Amino acid sequence: MFNFFKGSIRELKHVVWPTKTETKKYFVIVLTVLVVFWLYLFIASSLFSEILFFLKTTIWTTSVETNIPNIDLDSIIVNTGSLSETWSISDTTNLLDTWSIVE
């Protein structure tokens, strides 16, 4: 084990370390590449998203039939058939508690 560390230290003495100016130069290169790549991903993602939203709005509105009538909840009347009662919705806040007998 001791020989391993001794050999590692000997090899580290043979390493040519970059100078301060080389380190700054490589740092600027790496930072520039990162910013350019981030900008590319941001633009590509934004364009792809806009294209998808455009297609969604154009295809969805043209392919789906939108002729469903608007229903006013106050105008709904349910005839029970066998009973002589007619039920209607009187309030839209809580549909479970809003049935009332209309006579």
What are the boundaries of each domain within the chain?
1-68, 70-103
Mean pLDDT of 59-88: 60
Distance CA 99, CA 33 (A): 67
Using only C-alpha atoms, the chain has a radius of gyration, in whole angstroms, of 37
pLDDT tens for each residue of 9-60:
999 989 999 999 999 999 999 999 999 999 999 999 999 999 999 988 887 6
Confirm if 64 and 56 have CB atoms less than 8 A apart.
no
